[in-house]
Amino acid sequence: MTPARALLALSITALLGLSACTRQPSPDDSRPGAPPAAREGETADEFIARVNAEYKALYPELTAAQWLSSTYISDDSQLLSAKANERYLGQLKSWIEQAKKFEGQQMSPETARAIRLLKLSTSMPPPKDPAKLTELTQIATRMEGMYGSGEFCTGEGAARSCRQLGDLEEVLRNNRDYNEQLAAWRGWHTISPPMRKDYTRFVELVNDGAQNLGFADAGEMWRSGYDMSPAEIAAETDRLWTQVKPLYEQLHCYTRTRLQSEYGADKGAAAGGMLPAHLLGNMWQQDWGNIWDILAPYPGAGSLDISTALESQYQQAYAGRIAQSQVPATPAMLVEAEQEARLANAKQMTERAQDFYVSLGMPKLPESYWKNTQFIKPRDRDVVCHASAWDMNMEGDVRTKMCIKPNEEDFTTIYHELGHVYYYLAYNKLPPIFQQGAHDGFHEAIGDTIVLAMTPQYLQSIGLVGEQQQTNEALINAQMRMALAKVSFMPFGLMIDRWRWGVFDGSIKPGEYNKAWWDLKAKYQGVAPVEARGEQFFDAGAKYHVPGNTPYTRYFLSHVLQFQFYKALCDASGFKGPLYECSFYGNKEAGQKFQAMLSKGASQPWQQTLKELTGGEKMDASAVLEYFAPLQTWLKQQNEGRTCGWQANATPAPAASPVAPATGPAAPAAPAKPATPPIAG
């Protein structure tokens, strides 16, 4: 994922999670522990007050089930999660049914907003039929399990070797052998074809639930959560993409030229002048920063090699633990020392990220955070490594879940995840229904705003890079590094939900899932596989947010908003100079303004919240273009005389050989996602 996302991904739009009963509740259910029915004579204001109280009371139990299912993947934990999710969706359905009697009645504006948010508080709307609800949660469990424990295995017997996502990502990150990269990319995409049948049924079930709530389909429901009509938000994303597309096209052209120089004219480009999917250093082509060695404009100028510094810190921690041993180290001791060093290094990286937020006047993370967070991948069990941030009780028990490694991508991801955490802490005083982002793109933009302020000078001040020389070459290098994370992501952030909106509304049929996926990647990203990917594949399922059912437009919007936030905070800090040079680290005035925005949560329309921070009510990408102005000028110069752009309808070559399916034990069941899961980066 991009440095600001691993990410990352799931919405706070309603962490209205889980409970532990399997029976489908109904409003008139009188069994012990059943959800309270609508009360005679209750006003709308009283109803919302009751829902907030009921929600907050059951919340810790719900999040505990989900946390367990993500950090201890087993049949038992997944069963608890699935059943908890099933009961919660029934509870949510009961609340929504009860809310219908208040339609057209007098109520406070706050209550009217809360009722609307309640209706939109799940990305997985529950069907009315209890049997379908059970089926839905079981499918969600199964798909998440396939992803969370997915691995690609080759060989037999003693020669058998299996690699999970992290291992395969390392190949794309560090190995420049064309065929090795292709094998790793192919390998991960073998974990998703078994999901295809389940996903097809999943779409039918969530559409059923959305239609019960009055929406045409689940996609329309997702697009209704932006204080504007579904058509308006779709048009808004098109407008924003139009603003940044010329910059992306220049970056694409430059990248293709460099890849062709590295791998040859034929291998460095796919059909139609598109970029080969397996050569961009990232499994999904959403962040190109891992191929910095190929794309660096001026090697050595203003070196920003964070990964080497972080790896060195880890190696020092490891050597220190070995040195502490009073006896010759055994293999078991070495393994334990390695794990201890990784944990210490991960905590050190997290402490550094915390320091930025604290420098703005925000509180230190509670002690429970350091006790309960999953910092690294355990050695004794399967876990979901996909980075996410958690609010366990709406009262300060916050956590993150990652499998941190000492590299730049994970380092900036920590800053991103802590953005979610500090958002939680800022709005914890609000009623539960309002404890979410102004819209979901806001939640994803908070930590990324901090990442933008991690200027070369800031990185030098914390000892991760050497002294920075103020040269044009160093500036272009710094801008390129940021663009490979931010600009490269934007079309990817747009296309995933374009695919799902089509799947949900039926314009993309089950028999063309894979074709439509690659058609959209070609249209928006100019990226293609180097060989045909027919409908025997389900490549969308190899991206966490599809089986995890996480709406993705938020990530595109966040990549616009973060630059708006950044510019506003730079202005608040009194910074004068080019936008890209601004770091508001340590500035309490900027921190106060940021904190004020965070504290509003979803208590008011996002347009008002945005205006209070930036002075404007519209999302706008002009700050993106202002930030990258030097790079865009440079890219145009580099691309002069070249034929840029790509043919999105070009046909890749037939596959040279069939890809063997992943082998190994069946994937255990995985966590059923709550109606709105914890924030994933």
Return the active site residues: 386-387, 416-417, 420, 444, 545, 555
Distance separating alpha carbons of residues 111 and 146, to the nearest angstrom: 40
DSSP lists the bridge partners of residue 154 as: 161
Helices (H), 506-628: 513-520, 553-572, 588-599, 606-614, 622-627
Q: What is the token pair recorded at 563?
A: 């630059």
Distance separating alpha carbons of residues 138 and 173, to the nearest angstrom: 35
Reference 78, options 62, 66, 90, 91; nearest CA is 66
End-to-end Cα distance, the chain: 9
The DSSP-derived string for 593-660 is HHHHHHHTTTSS-HHHHHHHHHS-SS---HHHHHHTHHHHHHHHHHHTTS-----TTPPPBPPSSPPP
Q: Is 204 helix (H, G, I), strand (E, B) or coil?
A: helix
Distance separating alpha carbons of residues 556 and 670, to the nearest angstrom: 27
The strand pair at 398-401 and 161-164 is best described as unpaired
Reference 437, options 1, 151, 10, 7; nearest CA is 10
Distance separating alpha carbons of residues 392 and 598, to the nearest angstrom: 18
Distance separating alpha carbons of residues 580 and 574, to the nearest angstrom: 14
What are the counts of helices (DSSP H) followed by strands (DSSP E) for the chain? 24, 7
At CB < 8 A and 24+ separation, what contacts does 166-169 make? 166/377, 166/385, 166/403, 166/405, 168/283, 169/282, 169/283
Contact at 8 Å (CB) between 48 and 114? yes
Reference 44, options 110, 90, 93, 94; nearest CA is 110
